[in-house]
Structure 1
């Protein structure tokens, strides 16, 4: 029993070296400085990461039932406003006369600087949390249902359309095409060249980037049809107690030219610009978080211990490589052994 207790007392999971067996060298000093440098560098990185937090992204089932939301539109179509018909129809067959809420302002067609024309809109990055918080300025269009200078060569269409949060599409067509109307636009007068400044869902944040923002199409065809398919995902950004509830969407598109029946001389389809949308049953939450302080302290301790252990093994490996390559004489150069060992003590002579 006594021998067992002695073994327990002498047991040490982290064995140490007695001072008289320690050897100092120039290489050891450099390795110590290098270890301290990396330790301080990692400590600085971890402290900065703890203060700045981290961004957590999670997809959750959307358990919030929204009966309606708005579609925000700001675009220019190269056709007079008096020729244009706008309409929204969803899967429930409900129709919204978008022309009653949108504004139509006649002007000359132009392409704003920096617009991406005739490019495929199949790539979009999720905005960063900080960028969203900086640009999350709500706005509203200054008017509703206004019509100005409708006989101008082009039409500026802008405003918000209230719709049901179900699958549907927003259509821009010529009068007399697809719907009964008092007037019928001649085929040669159709021109669906367009430039989109804003197309978004939900609350209007004019500075947030969307896939269709600053894009457009140019076509010489009168019977051109453009179809944009949007998969909408409700997205919530949270930081420091602030919350921005918006909607992101991914986009695919196709376009084609309507043919004319040779017998009836009528178009075999409805040319126009179609925005088809569908809402996903999930919600993306992007939140800035910070790990608990005690967990941070434990993490720092673990990293520090790992650095010391790894540095010790690397130094031993380095010493063994030097020994194999250059020999023991080279390795022992510059070493300084501490006094106090058993072999360093002078043995007194026995008197005769």
Structure 2
């Protein structure tokens, strides 16, 4: 047994030195305190990393198919008279009653004059909300309009308004100005003079537009589109297809110019997740020419975020470039409006929250203690031997 213990004693990598041979110095004490403080700070930093989740980022090819893309929008359109804004924005002819939202993609699917989950707020020159509901935009409807075959509607009659040649069948009725405009849109026609349409005249279509002069409009909500390249845009007038070309009917508004100055409070593609940055949030632009089309070209990057509890958030990030097309020599070269052209990246970004393992934490703590102890020992040895060398030279008279 004594021989075994003797062999184990010979393997001791930490030989002990008698305290009588220790030489304690002032510099050693200072270095010890400094190294202890450094060790404590590094330990606290490592402990915080261990207690908080870290995010691991990976890239892979997006192989998902047939998914929907949700676009959340909150776009403000203001007049330059608004004192609360930090910029001047003019919209003399783009009130809530004339703005429409369209969405389309390369698959051929179109959503024209989107109203579902889209809300408009009429805003006066001082920024106060006048009306919020979609059906609150526009004029009052008149009683006793013209019937389809002439004459006035009585209380005991069933009203069927004329579509003015745009009806698809003899029994189709257009009981409001909106019905007539929708029937014209489906035919690919433009409404040149709303006052020539009894429904529009009695509902005060043109008068309602004049009454909204000097107002701004706030549009917010969300739309869902196919996960393919496409665009959505805000523009005046109803849209329709004419010779396979997407056009907007601007004649009813009798305007010489349209100003599409705008501010984007928020624009995102999908749900919020920690760390997401939407580059168009709080972006604004002011138009100085009579006509113009403002275009945003967006590259959408599919993103999956998994938090520490395993909850998965399917969302998107995006980058954007901007371009403005103006009129030349008084001729309209582009449809006035704000267009967002988006395309999807084939690469998917995955963020995963996870905790550092305890063994990794323990390894880092040992590395901190051992590393600081070793470095401080080297510094102390250098200072100690330096002091002894200087003291020895002073004793032999080399330093005066």
TM-score (norm 1): 0.69
Partner residue in 2 for 1:314: 379
Residue-by-residue CA offset, 1:173-216 (whole Å, 9 max, x unaligned): 333785164845545241212222232222489xx863222222
Matched position secondary structure for 1:210: coil
> Is residue 163 from structure 1 mapped to residue 225 from structure 2 by the alignment?
yes
> Is residue 285 from structure 1 mapped to residue 301 from structure 2 by the alignment?
no
> Which residues in structure 2 correspond to 1:1-352 (within 5 Å)?
10=10, 17-77=17-77, 78=91, 79-101=94-116, 102-108=118-124, 146=135, 148-149=137-138, 151=209, 152-153=212-213, 154-175=216-237, 178-179=246-247, 181=249, 183=251, 185-186=253-254, 188-203=256-271, 210-241=278-309, 242-260=311-329, 266-327=331-392
Distance 1:195 1:293, change over 3 A: same
Distance 1:110 1:201, change over 3 A: farther
For structure 1, the residue ranges without an aligned partner over 5 or more in a row are 1-5, 113-141, 331-352
Alpha-carbon distance in 1 for matches of 2:350, 2:256: 49
The alignment covers a number of residue pairs equal to: 289
Distance 1:106 1:296, change over 3 A: closer
Alpha-carbon distance in 1 for matches of 2:322, 2:97: 27
For structure 2, the residue ranges without an aligned partner over 5 or more in a row are 1-5, 78-90, 139-207, 240-245, 396-400
Conserved in 1, the CA contact under 8 Å of 2:301 and 2:316?
yes
Alpha-carbon distance in 2 for matches of 1:244, 1:176: 36
Distance 1:180 1:188, change over 3 A: closer
Matched position secondary structure for 1:159: strand
TM-score (norm 2): 0.62
Structure 1 stretches of 4+ with a deviation exceeding 6 A read 6-9
Conserved in 2, the CA contact under 8 Å of 1:260 and 1:268?
no
Alpha-carbon distance in 2 for matches of 1:214, 1:182: 29
Alpha-carbon distance in 2 for matches of 1:318, 1:98: 80
Shift of 1:289: 2.0
Pairwise CA RMSD: 3.4
Alpha-carbon distance in 1 for matches of 2:364, 2:392: 41
Distance 1:105 1:291, change over 3 A: closer
Distance 1:103 1:40, change over 3 A: closer
Distance 1:45 1:96, change over 3 A: same
Conserved in 2, the CA contact under 8 Å of 1:104 and 1:147?
no
Matched position secondary structure for 2:289: coil
Residue-by-residue CA offset, 1:304-350 (whole Å, 9 max, x unaligned): 122221111111111233344443668xxxxxxxxxxxxxxxxxxxx
Matched position secondary structure for 1:24: coil
Shift of 1:293: 1.2
Conserved in 2, the CA contact under 8 Å of 1:237 and 1:243?
yes
Conserved in 2, the CA contact under 8 Å of 1:176 and 1:184?
no
Conserved in 1, the CA contact under 8 Å of 2:269 and 2:315?
yes
Matched position secondary structure for 1:220: coil
